[in-house]
Structure 1
């Protein structure tokens, strides 16, 4: 085959690949819009689609029940689900690439455990004894309500992050950092278990309620959650080139002029920011960060982070909205624990990874 023919064939293949990627991204965007709308429409009280849009465009009085339900309850919840799902998915992708481990997730460095310890100290040590649920508990100890719990979770996750960053400057091996992160998680979990053992049942119940995870937050929390996630996602997009270099190994990335230790620190900080802020406001939400990157690799058939980062953003947001919709059992006043729903969605993907890891690991070593 002549060189010109080969060039023409390669260009055609690249063009077809670009078309396919664009089509998939557009489909994911449509799915995101669909699930976002359904999360507003469906719930214990189903509100017609036309009425929902009337509320969003300000055509219904503020004191109308539909307006209160959508604007005060469902819209902030849907925004938290969309941005929280995107954050956890991208954080999981960063960790899987950094550690070249297909089962790595956003909480692998003990960030979630640190957040749990912070919340456990606030609720189990300082919570009101007479309270039986988390909202009552927050009113009972009265500091700053849910903001106190969020701050405690963020301080706990930040403390673990500082330790991991300090260790990463002293240790070259990613595997060692991974093991140390897991050990930090075990230590903090053991402290939480001790606090639970010596706490009143009412306090334990309130803490357990937090561990279930929920996107039911209010505008005050959303106004912090969304900007932080957007900022961290922008930095994730800017690191796609170093992430692609890491796929070929640390030595190759270094030979290409990349400062490995600095890039690793950036990735750890961004991951901690994405996972930490979601955990602080929404509690620990499992499996999304581990499962979504693998689904994206399978859908796009690529390991290119210029495609995977936006793909994980859209797919993570869509699946989080879908999980939130299921958790609220449309037509019923009952609510399922969010983490149990995300586990049901994510666990089959992890089983798939274990059974067919060599086929779908694309760029990630098992």
Structure 2
């Protein structure tokens, strides 16, 4: 069987699996809703219970769409970073964007008590927290980009991102030390990640941000393939390396920054999913890896969300904990095998 036919079959199964998982995600929860009812509610048909239709349209459908967007965005961010830095352990959070978002939210939640009451209420609203998170991510992005203009080595930028992440995490640690128990609880819940708190207008904004980031990523497929053999080879092929690097970093920042703002910092998806796609499709061609990583990211995020919902039970586990349980073994596997990035 040739590679093209094999890839077509794999993509077909992956796409069908994603559709099934989307329905499973909507069906399962504290109350299990039959697949037929889910289908009827989504297609405008008759639902036997109005409460089920209300739950699906107002709670579970937005959460499922958010899971798909988060999975696609974070996984593509990881693919971009791993190729740019030629490092299998690179990911969107290595640039410090997640820590920057956490710092913005920490300033709002943990520092709100020192602000006037009207300003405190404004910032503690959902839109205020999203704004703070976005500004935190953007600030770190601008600092990394500013430093990157003076550095030619991509590994040096990787280290700079780690240092910015360490610095912002230290500031968050200081803020938490001087915060009340109520403030710490709010910040802790945000830091665990949550896919189910977005309204339809918020999902629209997140969708626009993710589509913009994915469009920039799609434009970077040829540069990414050229970078597989190194920066010097890519330049010898006529690649404008500085421009390509800027677009890749910008795409990663838009994806990771907007997702962190709306869903909280979600770990390991960006790191683990690209390796799963490479393992299944057995290729380093980014034309194939882009779409396979996209589909795998959405599917795995839907699975993680179903697990976090604990179907049939009233409790909900933090989504960040579930993704870490999935991603940590992948990191250990990478370290044990010590495979060089191709």
Same topology, TM > 0.5: yes
Deviation of the 1:142 alpha carbon: 4.4
Deviation of the 1:350 alpha carbon: 1.3
Match of 2:65 in 1: 79
1:215 is aligned to 2:201: no
Deviation of the 1:356 alpha carbon: 1.9
What count of residue pairs does the alignment treat as equivalent? Answer: 338
Structure 1 unaligned spans of 5+: 1-12, 130-139
Give the one of 195, 200, 223 matched to 1:242. Answer: 223
8 Å Cα contact 2:40-2:47 kept in structure 1: no
CA RMSD of aligned residues (A): 1.9
1:51 is aligned to 2:51: no
Give the one of 176, 201, 208 matched to 1:227. Answer: 208
C-alpha distance in 2 between matches for 1:63 and 1:166: 56
Provide closer, same or farther for how the CA distance between residues 126 and 100 of structure 1 changes in structure 2, counting only shifts above 3 A: same
1:350 is aligned to 2:338: no
Q: Say which SS state the counterpart of residue 228 (structure 1) adopts.
A: helix
C-alpha distance in 1 between matches for 2:279 and 2:145: 32
Deviation of the 1:231 alpha carbon: 2.0
C-alpha distance in 1 between matches for 2:280 and 2:266: 23
Deviation of the 1:266 alpha carbon: 0.7
C-alpha distance in 2 between matches for 1:297 and 1:162: 31
Deviation of the 1:144 alpha carbon: 7.0
C-alpha distance in 1 between matches for 2:38 and 2:145: 46
8 Å Cα contact 1:127-1:141 kept in structure 2: no
C-alpha distance in 1 between matches for 2:128 and 2:307: 29
Where do 4+ consecutive residues of structure 1 move more than 6 Å?
A: none
1:298 is aligned to 2:279: yes
Superposition map of 1:1-366 within 5 A: 16-60=2-46, 64-126=50-112, 141-143=121-123, 145-216=125-196, 217-358=198-339, 361=340, 363=342
Mean Cα deviation higher: 206-215 or 144-153: 144-153
Provide closer, same or farther for how the CA distance between residues 60 and 126 of structure 1 changes in structure 2, counting only shifts above 3 A: farther
C-alpha distance in 1 between matches for 2:43 and 2:324: 35
C-alpha distance in 1 between matches for 2:161 and 2:287: 28
Q: TM-score if structure 1 supplies the norm length?
A: 0.89
C-alpha distance in 2 between matches for 1:228 and 1:278: 9
8 Å Cα contact 1:168-1:265 kept in structure 2: no
**Cα deviations by residue, 1:254-313 (Å, 9 ceiling, x for unpaired):** 011111111111111000001111100000000000000111111011110000010100
C-alpha distance in 2 between matches for 1:156 and 1:144: 15
C-alpha distance in 2 between matches for 1:53 and 1:295: 30
C-alpha distance in 2 between matches for 1:31 and 1:231: 25
